[in-house]
């Protein structure tokens, strides 16, 4: 991503062989179904430079699917892939990068113990993104099914101390609901870490993107709003500082 730009990153969530959108991370509430290769091609053709792919089965069970990531990376070209779900070790992350991902997102493994982040940071540098997924003010793990009891700002501060390059912060209760982003959560994570933050959860409009950009986030991961047309596909083209989103009035 260019220095100083704000990027909209399309999200593709995988459940089995389908691309889906869940409501609030609930596996029993599938709102949208699609064919994943077709979806990443559509996003890449619209001008996306980065596509966020989450393997929901992997997140639940701690497994990675290198073949799936490889196929999607090929389908997405020339866009890059940011792979998430099921990464429990640096070896898992390395396999997904070797399969074609440009970045890997680690959540559960990063929270396993105080020193868990160090080998990931040392090995992957700016190819690593740490996921802070929040429900009720506390960080969730293992496909959002486990409450870690950790405070989001505390985890964000720990990421900064460990040398993490960027954070992906998701408001679980807003995910897939098109109810707007949790700006207070995002401000807290930005303030506690001082790191670049990708915002996720509830983003539905260009006004929401403007609000997220205004508090200093470097981008937003957007799923359902792009699929149902609340946001036009043209929103995935990166914005430079002189091409800002319309401000909320």
CB 51 within 8 A of CB 39: no
Q: How many CB atoms lie within 10 A of CB 54?
A: 26
Q: Is 57 a catalytic residue?
A: no
Helix/strand/coil percentages in the chain, nearest 5: 40, 30, 35
Cα gap 81→40, rounded to integer Å = 9
Catalytic residue from among 55, 92, 133, 182: 133
Q: Which residues of 219-228 are buried (b: 16+ CB within 10 A; e: fewer)?
A: bbbbbbbbbe
Q: Is 133 a catalytic residue?
A: yes
Q: How many CB atoms lie within 10 A of CB 89?
A: 16
- Cα separations in angstroms, 3 against 7, 150, 198: 11, 32, 15
Catalytic residue annotation: 13, 133
């Amino acid at each position: 991503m260019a220095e100083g730009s704000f990027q909209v990153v399309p999200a593709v969530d995988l459940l089995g062989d389908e691309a889906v959108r869940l409501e609030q991370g609930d596996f029993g509430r599938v709102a949208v179904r699609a064919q994943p290769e077709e979806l990443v091609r559509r996003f890449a053709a619209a001008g996306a430079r980065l596509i966020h792919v989450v393997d929901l089965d992997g997140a639940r069970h701690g497994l990675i699917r290198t073949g799936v990531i490889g196929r999607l990376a090929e389908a997405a070209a020339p866009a890059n892939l940011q792979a998430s779900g099921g990464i429990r070790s640096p070896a898992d992350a390395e396999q997904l990068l070797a399969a074609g991902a440009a970045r890997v997102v680690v959540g559960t493994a990063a929270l396993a113990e105080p020193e868990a982040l160090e080998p990931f940071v040392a090995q992957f540098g700016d190819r690593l993104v740490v996921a802070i997924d929040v429900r009720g003010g506390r960080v969730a793990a293992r496909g959002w099914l486990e409450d870690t009891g950790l405070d989001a700002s505390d985890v964000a501060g720990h990421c900064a101390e460990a040398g993490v390059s960027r954070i992906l912060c998701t408001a679980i209760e807003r995910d897939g609901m098109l109810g707007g982003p949790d700006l207070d959560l995002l401000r807290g994570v930005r303030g506690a870490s001082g790191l670049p933050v990708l915002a996720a959860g509830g983003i539905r409009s260009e006004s929401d993107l403007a609000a997220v950009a205004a508090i200093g986030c470097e981008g937003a991961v957007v799923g359902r709003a792009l699929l149902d047309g609340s946001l036009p596909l043209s929103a995935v083209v990166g914005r430079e500082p002189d091409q800002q989103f319309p401000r909320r009035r």
